[in-house]
Amino acid sequence: MNATIALLLFGVAVIILTKLTVKASLAIIRKVFRLAEDDATKDTHEFEVSNNTVCSEDVIIPCYAPFEDTIFIWDNKGKINHSCYLHESIHSTQGVFIKLYAYLIPTSVVSGSAKLPWYSKVYQYFYNFFVGLFHNIYIFVVEFATFLETRKKCVQVGIWSKEVKTFHELGLLSYVVNLVYSLILLGMTYSLVKFLLF
């Protein structure tokens, strides 16, 4: 009976924690998009991009795809876009670290889970409760190091402003939210296993 109650409470706590994390992440992402839109409308700053860079309004969020060696950004205009380009360029030099970062992320995160094979869906659940807990710590470390390097390069180029700083701090905050989620979930999972086994 106690095990059933513990599992039920664990399930409810996971649902509440997940909803709060998603809500916080969405609030951060909305603010990031607002800053990027404001930058695109008021800033005429242009910059050169490398041959492996795709500039498109269809890009959801700037990123680096390590297995295709491609950088995706919104445009080659604006200080925020330039800072995103510098950020993703730094990722492109991180070699095995960024490949491990990207390799462990479930396919469902990137392309949705509707038409994925069963083993991809199983890995998604395995990732959420085991791999992801430790992977989010690793992701935060990589992103924090990249944030520091991005700031340094932006200052060197002369584009580090209040808006660029806020944009990247909010991006880093989204990783902090995921890290806190992972650590709380790890603690809850450990407590549940300890309770059930001892």
pLDDT single digits (tens) 97-108: 999 999 988 876
What's the one-letter identity of residue 5?
I
pTM listed for this prediction: 0.87
How far lies 193's CA from each of 5, 181, 188, 189, in Å? Answer: 13, 18, 9, 6
Cα(62)–Cα(82) distance, integer angstroms: 11
Which positions ≥6 away from 177 have C-beta within 8 Å? 21, 24, 25, 28
- Range 163-179 burial, b when 16+ CB lie within 10 A, else e: bbeebbebbbbbbebbb
Tokens describing residue 81: 């876009």
Tokens describing residue 149: 């390097």
For the cut 80, the answer to whether the pLDDT of residue 91 exceeds it is: yes
Query: 137, 101 in Cβ contact below 8 A?
Result: no
For the cut 90, the answer to whether the pLDDT of residue 40 exceeds it is: no
For the cut 80, the answer to whether the pLDDT of residue 115 exceeds it is: no
pLDDT tens-digit map of 136-168: 999 999 999 999 999 999 999 999 999 999 999
For the cut 90, the answer to whether the pLDDT of residue 171 exceeds it is: yes
